[in-house]
Amino acid sequence: MNNLAGRNLTGTIPKELGQLTELEVLELYDNKLSGPIPAELGELSQLQSLDLQSNKLTGLIPRELGKLRKLTSLVLDGNQLTGPIPDEFRNLTTLTNLSVDDAAQVVKVGGARQVLAWQATLALLALMIVIGSLLFKRGKHARPRAIDVEMAALLPNWRS
Protein backbone atom coordinates (compact mmCIF):
# COMPACT_ATOMS: atom_id res chain seq x y z
CA MET A 1 0.00 0.00 0.00
CA ASN A 2 1.26 3.49 -0.83
CA ASN A 3 1.38 5.86 2.12
CA LEU A 4 -0.56 9.03 1.30
CA ALA A 5 0.05 10.76 4.63
CA GLY A 6 2.05 13.98 4.73
CA ARG A 7 2.23 14.38 0.95
CA ASN A 8 0.75 17.92 0.82
CA LEU A 9 -2.29 16.59 -1.03
CA THR A 10 -4.88 19.29 -1.77
CA GLY A 11 -8.49 19.31 -2.92
CA THR A 12 -11.32 17.14 -1.66
CA ILE A 13 -11.34 13.47 -0.74
CA PRO A 14 -12.70 11.69 -3.83
CA LYS A 15 -16.03 10.00 -3.17
CA GLU A 16 -14.84 7.22 -5.50
CA LEU A 17 -12.64 5.94 -2.66
CA GLY A 18 -15.86 4.38 -1.35
CA GLN A 19 -15.67 1.88 -4.23
CA LEU A 20 -12.47 0.34 -2.82
CA THR A 21 -14.50 -2.03 -0.66
CA GLU A 22 -11.54 -4.29 0.20
CA LEU A 23 -9.49 -1.40 1.62
CA GLU A 24 -8.49 -2.04 5.25
CA VAL A 25 -6.46 1.09 6.08
CA LEU A 26 -6.93 4.64 4.80
CA GLU A 27 -4.38 7.16 6.06
CA LEU A 28 -4.64 10.65 4.59
CA TYR A 29 -3.41 12.56 7.65
CA ASP A 30 -1.12 15.62 7.58
CA ASN A 31 -2.21 16.88 4.16
CA LYS A 32 -4.18 19.92 3.02
CA LEU A 33 -7.40 18.17 2.07
CA SER A 34 -10.53 20.31 2.33
CA GLY A 35 -14.29 20.02 2.08
CA PRO A 36 -16.53 17.41 3.67
CA ILE A 37 -15.70 13.81 4.46
CA PRO A 38 -17.47 11.85 1.70
CA ALA A 39 -20.39 9.76 2.93
CA GLU A 40 -19.27 7.11 0.44
CA LEU A 41 -16.42 6.15 2.79
CA GLY A 42 -19.14 4.36 4.75
CA GLU A 43 -19.13 1.72 1.98
CA LEU A 44 -15.60 0.56 2.87
CA SER A 45 -16.88 -2.57 4.61
CA GLN A 46 -13.41 -3.99 5.35
CA LEU A 47 -11.95 -0.73 6.70
CA GLN A 48 -10.24 -1.12 10.08
CA SER A 49 -8.42 2.21 10.37
CA LEU A 50 -9.35 5.67 9.06
CA ASP A 51 -6.97 8.55 9.82
CA LEU A 52 -7.88 11.96 8.40
CA GLN A 53 -6.31 14.14 11.08
CA SER A 54 -4.55 17.44 10.41
CA ASN A 55 -6.27 18.46 7.20
CA LYS A 56 -8.77 21.22 6.49
CA LEU A 57 -11.90 19.08 6.40
CA THR A 58 -15.20 20.79 7.15
CA GLY A 59 -18.84 19.92 7.75
CA LEU A 60 -20.48 17.15 9.72
CA ILE A 61 -19.02 13.74 10.44
CA PRO A 62 -20.98 11.52 8.04
CA ARG A 63 -23.41 9.16 9.74
CA GLU A 64 -22.53 6.58 7.08
CA LEU A 65 -19.22 5.97 8.88
CA GLY A 66 -21.35 4.17 11.46
CA LYS A 67 -21.65 1.31 8.94
CA LEU A 68 -17.93 0.49 9.22
CA ARG A 69 -18.41 -2.55 11.49
CA LYS A 70 -14.73 -3.58 11.38
CA LEU A 71 -13.39 -0.11 12.23
CA THR A 72 -11.04 -0.13 15.24
CA SER A 73 -9.49 3.34 14.86
CA LEU A 74 -11.01 6.61 13.67
CA VAL A 75 -8.87 9.74 13.89
CA LEU A 76 -10.46 13.02 12.76
CA ASP A 77 -8.91 15.69 15.00
CA GLY A 78 -7.06 18.70 13.58
CA ASN A 79 -9.85 19.59 11.14
CA GLN A 80 -12.78 22.01 11.25
CA LEU A 81 -15.55 19.46 11.60
CA THR A 82 -18.78 20.55 13.26
CA GLY A 83 -21.78 18.94 14.87
CA PRO A 84 -22.23 15.96 17.14
CA ILE A 85 -20.85 12.48 16.79
CA PRO A 86 -23.56 10.66 14.79
CA ASP A 87 -25.95 8.32 16.60
CA GLU A 88 -24.94 5.58 14.17
CA PHE A 89 -21.54 5.39 15.86
CA ARG A 90 -23.12 3.25 18.57
CA ASN A 91 -22.91 0.43 15.99
CA LEU A 92 -19.10 0.62 15.95
CA THR A 93 -18.61 -2.10 18.54
CA THR A 94 -15.02 -2.86 17.47
CA LEU A 95 -13.90 0.78 17.73
CA THR A 96 -11.12 1.11 20.31
CA ASN A 97 -9.64 4.48 19.31
CA LEU A 98 -11.70 7.55 18.48
CA SER A 99 -10.04 10.95 18.28
CA VAL A 100 -12.09 14.02 17.39
CA ASP A 101 -11.97 17.70 18.20
CA ASP A 102 -14.73 18.69 20.58
CA ALA A 103 -14.88 22.22 21.97
CA ALA A 104 -11.16 22.65 21.21
CA GLN A 105 -10.28 19.52 23.18
CA VAL A 106 -9.19 16.22 21.69
CA VAL A 107 -11.29 13.37 23.01
CA LYS A 108 -9.65 9.94 23.05
CA VAL A 109 -11.68 7.07 24.41
CA GLY A 110 -11.70 3.31 24.48
CA GLY A 111 -14.87 2.82 22.45
CA ALA A 112 -17.77 4.51 20.69
CA ARG A 113 -20.20 3.65 23.49
CA GLN A 114 -18.03 5.61 25.93
CA VAL A 115 -18.09 8.63 23.61
CA LEU A 116 -21.88 8.52 23.38
CA ALA A 117 -22.21 8.30 27.15
CA TRP A 118 -19.64 11.07 27.63
CA GLN A 119 -21.38 13.42 25.19
CA ALA A 120 -24.81 12.63 26.61
CA THR A 121 -23.54 13.46 30.09
CA LEU A 122 -22.07 16.76 28.93
CA ALA A 123 -25.24 17.65 27.03
CA LEU A 124 -27.38 16.90 30.09
CA LEU A 125 -25.08 18.98 32.30
CA ALA A 126 -25.25 21.90 29.86
CA LEU A 127 -29.04 21.66 29.76
CA MET A 128 -29.23 21.62 33.55
CA ILE A 129 -27.07 24.74 33.73
CA VAL A 130 -29.22 26.55 31.16
CA ILE A 131 -32.48 25.57 32.85
CA GLY A 132 -31.11 26.49 36.27
CA SER A 133 -29.98 29.92 35.13
CA LEU A 134 -33.32 30.56 33.39
CA LEU A 135 -35.30 29.58 36.47
CA PHE A 136 -33.09 31.72 38.66
CA LYS A 137 -33.41 34.76 36.38
CA ARG A 138 -37.12 34.54 35.51
CA GLY A 139 -38.80 32.55 38.23
CA LYS A 140 -39.82 28.92 37.96
CA HIS A 141 -43.11 29.55 36.12
CA ALA A 142 -41.67 31.71 33.36
CA ARG A 143 -42.65 30.87 29.80
CA PRO A 144 -39.62 29.66 27.76
CA ARG A 145 -38.43 31.84 24.92
CA ALA A 146 -37.74 30.47 21.42
CA ILE A 147 -34.00 30.34 22.08
CA ASP A 148 -34.59 28.09 25.11
CA VAL A 149 -36.59 25.64 22.98
CA GLU A 150 -33.90 25.68 20.27
CA MET A 151 -31.31 24.63 22.85
CA ALA A 152 -33.24 21.39 23.40
CA ALA A 153 -33.06 20.65 19.66
CA LEU A 154 -29.25 20.65 19.86
CA LEU A 155 -29.16 17.79 22.35
CA PRO A 156 -28.62 14.26 21.03
CA ASN A 157 -31.53 11.83 21.02
CA TRP A 158 -29.65 8.70 22.15
CA ARG A 159 -31.35 5.75 23.71
CA SER A 160 -29.70 2.76 25.35
Instruction: Give the tens place of pLDDT for each residue, 106-138.
Output: 344 444 555 555 556 666 666 666 666 666 555
Average of per-residue pLDDT across 18-23: 95
Report d(CA 143, CA 130) in Å as an integer.
Answer: 14
Predicted TM-score (pTM) above 0.85: no
Categorize the per-residue pLDDT at 144 as very low, low, confident or very high, splitting at 50, 70 and 90. very low
Task: State residue 100's pLDDT score.
Answer: 87
Categorize the per-residue pLDDT at 87 as very low, low, confident or very high, splitting at 50, 70 and 90. confident
Categorize the per-residue pLDDT at 151 as very low, low, confident or very high, splitting at 50, 70 and 90. very low
Q: Which distant-in-sequence residues (6+ apart) come within 8 Å of 83 by Cβ?
A: 59, 60, 61
Is pLDDT above 90 for 54?
yes
* Vertex 52 angle, CA 40 and 70, to 5°: 60
Contact 87, 110 (CB under 8 A): no
Average of per-residue pLDDT across 67-76: 95
